[in-house]
Amino acid sequence: MRVPIYPNDLIRNRGFKSLSKQLQQQWCGPTPISLADAQKALAQGLGYKSFYDLSETSKVCQPGEPVPPEADVRQAIRSAIKATLQPEASLPLDQQKLERLVNDLSLKKLVAFKRMQVSPEAGHSVLSELVRGAQPGLSKEHVPTLEKILAESGSLRDRALFACMLGALRQSEFLSARMQHGAAVCSVKILDTKKVLDAIPEGHRSVFERYIKTSKLSDGEYLFRATNGPERPLSSEALRKICVSWARKADIDASLVTPHRVRKTTDGYADLMRQMSERMGHHSANTSLAYAVGSPTTSSTVH
């Protein structure tokens, strides 16, 4: 298993470099680790012999190279960290701290995980699976479990966030939503309707309305606000950590619980894919899929 690494991943404070610093700062061993050692451990977790091997390979990495499942990558990183800790094996390992470190690594910072890449040859089969409602990873069966742990948590904010995801809202839509005349309105206009409530399934609207009522949000305020700055929206990174906390409580692989994966479990998402396939029948399936997931299309000529 090897995760494709591109030159952009090695720019300061981006991709691999950013993850290495995070690994160093949150290291779970009894003694601190140098940045060089953190880079070595992360490189080995991503399938390379060393940071030098990773750096050299990135120079010839081709677009569209296959990306292993995120869950497999996190397991490999976990193993690499344990191997790095071997000299300190006599000291007890804080397993919870290790799991927290591995799950908190934002792999989406890597180019390979930033977009869904589908080859023209595989496009039709992948699209047809989505249209049929096949959901690799997170499935509809996971949804009741997540709903249960959220109900038990008592957090109306988290339940409202989940309701937005089940409403097939894109992350950019509900994170940018603001209050306007007593209603939550999407700042990013992608939906047929601007009001968030109209996009949420009927069975989840009461929870969403309770959140709005108890939050006492004023016009212009974000629907979901940053904890340390109410004038700012909840960040994508903060949302990722919230999803990770849900996954832990529900005993689900943390890499599976993301806004997009929750959105994919809905009937509305499957209907959207079906409609797009019908409307864009003269285009490649890859174009339809890339549009739906918000990723760039591959360049190809349609005759």
Q: What is the pLDDT at residue 292? A: 44
Torsion region of 29: left, alpha or beta (phi above 0 gives left; psi -120 to 50 gives alpha): beta
C-alpha distances in Å from residue 23, one per residue of 17, 32, 34, 196, 245: 10, 11, 10, 37, 19
- Note every long-range contact of 194-197, with CB atoms under 8 Å and residues 24 or more positions apart, other chains counting: 196/164, 196/167, 196/169, 196/223
- Sign of the dihedral through C-alpha 71, 247, 242, 215: positive
pTM: 0.50
Tell me, what DSSP letter sits at residue 81?
H
Q: What is the pLDDT along the chain (303 residues), one digit of tens a residue?
A: 899 999 989 998 889 999 999 999 988 888 889 999 999 999 999 999 999 999 999 998 887 788 888 889 999 999 999 888 876 555 566 778 888 889 889 898 898 887 534 333 344 443 334 333 333 468 888 889 999 999 998 899 999 999 989 887 888 888 888 988 888 888 765 555 678 888 888 888 999 999 999 999 888 899 999 988 778 999 988 999 999 999 888 888 888 888 888 888 877 655 555 554 555 554 444 444 444 444 443 333 333
- Note every long-range contact of 216-223, with CB atoms under 8 Å and residues 24 or more positions apart, other chains counting: 217/179, 218/179, 219/178, 219/179, 219/180, 219/181, 219/182, 220/178, 220/179, 220/180, 221/178, 221/179, 222/175, 222/176, 222/177, 222/178, 223/160, 223/174, 223/177, 223/178, 223/179, 223/184, 223/196
Q: What is the DSSP string of 235-292?
A: PHHHHHHHHHHHHHHHT--GGG--HHHHHHTSHHHHHHHHHHHHHTTTS-HHHHHHHH
**Distant-in-sequence, close-in-space partners of 263: CB < 8 Å, separation ≥ 6:** 165, 166, 168, 169, 170, 269
In three-state secondary structure terms, 111 is helix
In three-state secondary structure terms, 71 is helix
End-to-end CA distance of the chain: 37
